[in-house]
Amino acid sequence: MAGIEFQKQERQNKHQVGPFRQENIYLPHPAIIREIITENETVSTFVLEFEDALYRQEFTYKPGQFLMVSIPHQGEAPISISSASALTTTFALTVRKAGKLTGAMHGLSMGDVVGIRGPYGRPFPMGDLEGKNLVFVAGGIGMAPLHSALFSCLEHRQKYGAITVLYGSRNPDEICFSEEMKSFEQDENVKCLLTVDEAGDNWQGHVGLVTELLDMISIDPGTSKALVCGPGIMIRFVIARLESLGMQAPDIITTLERHMKCGVGICGHCHFDEKLICSDGPVFTRDELTNLENI
Amino acid sequence: MTGRYLLAKDHLVPLLRKIAKSNRLVAPVLNEYGDTLFSHITDLDSAAIDLAHQPQNSLKSFFFPQTEKLSTYLVEKSPKTGNVRYNFYPHTVENQPTAYVGVRSCDMFAVMYTDMTFLHNGERDNYYQKRRDNAFFITLACNHPFPNCFCNATRSGPFLELGYDLQLTDLGDRYFVETGRSRGMKIVEQMGQFFKPASEADRREQFQLALEARGLFQRNVHVELASKILQEQDEPVGIISELSSRCQDCAGCAYVCPTCTCFNIADLPLDEESGERIRSWDACTFAGFSKMAGDHNPVQCESQRVRKRFLHKLLHDVAKHGRPSCVGCGRCVDICFGGVDIISFVDRVVKTIDHCRDVD
């Protein structure tokens, strides 16, 4: 059995596996899946915790950061953290079944151990959001990183002005975090508007693009910040609409997605003009992005 | 302090033999097919060290192998719970001091550039670093640039002013030797029998050769002008699209390029329970390079395939590091059968402005 052979060969290297393993930036840390929350047919939220108690204690992250996630035999992919940076030792990844790795991830069960590296990337500028009215605009699985920022803000609700969530999905079945979205209906702390591209039989809400929701609220450009995440084309249109409503470029914040292999600015895969999405981003303000064409 | 010495030509091999006692040697070697390649030398007596031709490969693969194992992994299933564990055991890089001999200025500059990518970008790549820490360089000044060379235009040659441990300049029957970094000085101190102090006349002779070499380039490539045009004008979409359409997606340019270091990381299963995490060279010209989950690709391959390659080297790195990340070695010119090399790109970009001037 080749497995045993390798165990023997490589065990000698095991002394390198300290609690933080910083000397090897490519080495993932084992993390246990504590819970799997089915958001909808294609999206699940995986709640994870590091196996190593020391690492579990030391691990911190900020909204907008991502992890490199290793799934058995599938390699690694960058995935945004969707949980708020609360004082728990667990963290969550909300993943859509889209390709080989994410497909395999959806086949995992509670108690399975995956590999995690990170957190990486520039987070949302949470300090700059304080005292502002916040508009979160999400499309599809783009809700995942915004969810982290939104719930961090809700933990310190008094620090922020009005909070508005605009969330577009393809159809009502594809809405993620639907329980939470529903709870916002009764919540005076958050105004939440949902829209779908195609309504089903039971859908009473808005039908249309998420940009249309922007016309249903009032934004005071001087006191507001917008956080936008979704498919590239959606980000482009939302940014254009926000600008036409008078919002200034530094107040429009988005987070971008790219294929990545290292996550730390070396492998070259996530070059976006002169920037690297992994280390210069993934969070950018509008004024940092000259060209929105290939986002 | 820079010291200046002379090394008789017939002392070079004995010097290398002495160095090889405590170091691995890598030098340009002429093989049986007539190719000159940087190679490990195990037997100095039988190796045909070739300092007259440009090696077809750069030193890239010695610090960043074409494929390398990052770690071994095990996928274990608990018989009790049925749960899967995914554990990694890092691969250790072999650690041996190595002397790189006959390295020309373009390749030395390329090593300094890749240092920035792997070591000075915030995170340190320990696989690269281990090999790099063990390296010292005996470089060879280029008296006679090769037909496709243009290191004068990329400010990376033909003679080095920094980066080397020892720099040799061919003065006919002897080498003029300059000591750069401390390891070079140490060699001269420890192996003093091979070196004698250079005279003022030797120094002048070397200076004269350096001046003459600058005039011997056959190619006139306006790299700085092209970078300036790229900074000041709109993106040359037409040129990028024209060259993209000629690119055959072979990645030869990226593989021979001493500064192209994009890589892929993938799991290679060996059986159901184990495998290796492998890093391998990648190229931004490959159709799948930017492809994300669900086959979404933000790069239009038909028209933008070569965009990242040329703009990264001539525009983005100039903005970031103050110099292009092309070192003018000319290898992509030799290898591309479609003519999609960096000189074609520079020439076309420069022509756009010539054309504008004509119209004026």
- CA dist., res. A68 & res. A89, Å (int): 18
More confident residue, A294 or A283: A283
Q: Is residue B302 assigned to a domain? A: yes
Count Cβ–Cβ pairs < 8 Å, chain A vs chain B.
168
Higher pLDDT: B120 or B175? It is: B175
- Selected for mutation to probe chain A from B68, B84, B127, B237 (highest A CB count within 10 Å) is B84
The per-residue pLDDT of chain A, averaged, comes to 89
Q: Is pLDDT of B302 > 80?
A: no
Q: What is the mean pLDDT of residues B158-177?
A: 94
Clarify whether residues B241 and B207 are in a common domain: no
Hey, which residues 27-86 in chain B have their CB within 8 Å of chain A? Answer: 70-76, 81-86
- Residue of B285 and A21 predicted with greater confidence: B285
Residue B275 lies in a domain: no
- Determine the average pLDDT of the residues in A191-206: 89
B227 and B183 in a single domain? The answer is: no
3-state helix, strand, coil in chain A (%, to 5): 30, 30, 40
The pLDDT, as a whole number, for residue A83 is 94
**pLDDT tier, A2 (very low <50, low <70, confident <90, very high otherwise):** very low
CB B345 within 8 A of CB B310: yes
Measure CA A226 to chain center. Answer: 16
More confident residue, A171 or B2: A171
DSSP character for B91?
P
Within a domain: B74: no
Q: Are residues B180 and B289 in the same domain?
A: no
Answer yes or no: do B121 and A27 touch at CB < 8 A: no
Choosing from B213, B237, B252, the residue where a domain stops is B213
Q: Are residues B183 and B314 in the same domain?
A: no
Contact B88 A28 (CB under 8 A): yes
| pLDDT band at residue B354 under the 50/70/90 scheme | low
Chain A within 8 Å of B316 (Cβ-Cβ)?
Answer: yes
pLDDT at B296: 77
Contact check, Cβ <8 Å, A271/B308: yes
- Answer for the pair B62, B11: CB distance below 8 angstroms, yes or no: no
User: Considering only alpha carbons, which residue of chain A is nearest residue B260?
Assistant: A268
pLDDT value for A55:
87
pLDDT at B360 over 60: no
Enumerate the residues of chain B whose CB falls inside 8 A of the CB of residue A98: 292-294
Q: Which residues of A, range 20-59, sit inside 8 Å of B by Cβ?
A: 23-28, 30
Question: What tens digit of pLDDT does each residue of B85-140 get?
Answer: 999 999 988 778 999 999 999 999 999 999 999 998 778 999 999 999 999 999 99
Mean pLDDT (whole number) for B39-44 = 94
- A288 — contact with chain B (CB < 8 Å)? no
Q: What is the pLDDT of residues B8-21, one digit of tens each?
A: 999 999 999 999 99
Give the lowest-confidence range in A183-192, A193-202, A285-294, B293-302.
Answer: B293-302
Q: What percent of chain A has pLDDT over 90?
A: 71
Assess whether pLDDT exceeds 50 at residue B339.
yes
Do the Cβ atoms of A266 and B118 come closer than 8 Å?
A: yes
Listed by number, the residues of chain B in 264-303 with a beta carbon closer than 8 Å to a beta carbon of chain A are: 264-267, 269-271, 273-275, 277, 279, 282, 284, 289-295, 298-300
| Chain A residues closer than 8 Å to B75 by CB | 72-73
CB contact under 8 A, A72 and B75: yes
- One-letter amino acid at A222 equals G
Q: What is the model's pLDDT at position A22? A: 65
Model pLDDT, residue B297: 79
Pair B191, B247 in one domain: no
A232 to chain B: closest CA residue: B298
Distances in Å between the Cα of B146 and the Cα atoms of B44, B150, B156, B244, B301 are 26, 9, 14, 27, 33
The tens digit of pLDDT for each residue in B57-88 reads 999 999 999 999 999 999 999 999 999 999 99
Q: Is residue B200 located within the same domain as residue B229?
A: no
**Residues of B with CB below 8 A from A257's CB?**
292
- Say yes or no: A113 contacts chain B, CB-CB below 8 A: yes
Strand (E) or helix (H) holding B240: helix B237-246
pLDDT of the residue at A10: 44
Are residues B169 and B43 both part of a single domain? yes
Whether residue A85 contacts residue A62, with contact meaning beta carbons closer than 8 Å, is answered with yes
Q: Are residues B178 and B246 in the same domain?
A: no
Model pLDDT, residue A191 = 92
The tally of domains found in chain B comes to 2
Are residue B146 and residue B11 in the same domain, yes or no?
A: yes
Q: What is the ipTM of this complex?
A: 0.90
Res. B178: pLDDT tops 90: yes
For residue B239, tell me if it sits in a domain. Answer: yes
Q: Is residue B73 part of a domain?
A: no
B118 and B48, same structural domain? yes
Who among B90, B293, B295 is closest to A27 (CB)? B90
Chain segment A77-115, per-residue pLDDT in tens: 999 999 997 678 999 999 999 889 999 999 999 999 999
C-alpha distance from A233 to closest chain B C-alpha (Å):
11
pLDDT at A82: 95
Instruction: Report percent pLDDT > 70 for chain B.
Output: 97
Residue B173 pLDDT: 93
B23 lies in which domain range?
4-64+97-213
Which pLDDT belongs to residue B300?
A: 79
Average pLDDT over residues B207-229: 93
> CA-CA distances (angstroms) from residue B40 to A274, B51, B138, B166, B231?
37, 15, 15, 19, 42
Nearest neighbour of A99 by CB, restricted to B118, B293, B300: B293
Asked if residue B85 is part of any domain, the answer here is no
C-alpha torsion sign, points A234, A236, A241, A247: positive
Question: Does B145 lie in the same domain as B232?
Answer: no
Q: Which residues pair with A229 in a beta bridge?
A: A138
How many angstroms separate the CA atoms of B101 and B26, rounded?
Answer: 6
CA–CA gap between residue A295 and residue B4 (Å, rounded): 54
> Among A153-167, A222-236, B300-314, where is mean pLDDT lowest?
B300-314
Q: Say if residue B167 is exposed, middle or buried (CB neighbours under 10 Å; 0-12, 13-18, 19+).
A: buried
**Among B84, B122, B271, whose Cβ lies nearest the Cβ of A112?**
B84
Q: Is residue B71 part of a domain?
A: no
One domain, residues B169 and B208: yes
- Contact between A33 and A109 (Cβ < 8 Å): yes
Mean pLDDT is lowest, of A76-90, A144-158, B168-182, B289-303, for: B289-303
Q: B41 lies in a domain?
A: yes
Question: pLDDT digits over A20-73, tens only?
Answer: 446 799 999 999 999 999 999 999 999 999 999 988 888 999 999 999 999 999
Q: Is the model's pLDDT at B356 over the cut of 80?
A: no
- Taking the C-alpha atoms of residue A85 and residue B27, their distance in angstroms, rounded to an integer, is 53
